[in-house]
Amino acid sequence: MDEVIRVKGLTKLFGKLAVLRGIDCAIRATEVVCVIGPSGSGKSTFLRCLNGLEDASGGEVLVHGVSVHEPKTDVDALR
């Protein structure tokens, strides 16, 4: 139950294109998780949102309980 990543209602828009629409998931330590889907379905966008390379349009990504997209968060340290 050692939760490392928690995603809550993650949304990402590029203009009118909604690539991620309300993603919820939890990833625990030692779990190996695969993200699968057709080309252009948003896999890379999802991963970029998880590590803070991309801003989220809505929702929240927590790593060890720390919000990745909060301005005060030290994303380098979190990575």
Ligand X SMILES: Nc1ncnc2c1ncn2[C@@H]1O[C@H](COP(=O)(O)OP(=O)(O)OP(=O)(O)O)[C@@H](O)[C@H]1O
Decide whether 55 or 70 has the Cβ nearer to Mg ion. Answer: 55
Integer Cα distance of 69 and 54 in angstroms: 9
Integer Cα distance of 50 and 7 in angstroms: 8
Least separation in angstroms between residue 15's CB and ligand X is 7
Q: Is residue 39 involved in binding ligand X (CB under 6 A)?
A: yes
Stretch that binds ligand X, among 2-10, 22-30, 40-48, 67-75 (CB under 6 A): 40-48
Q: Which long-range contacts (CB under 8 A, 24 or more apart) does 38-44 make?
A: 42/12
Choose from ligand X, Mg ion, none: what does 8 bind? Cβ within 5-8 Å by kind: none
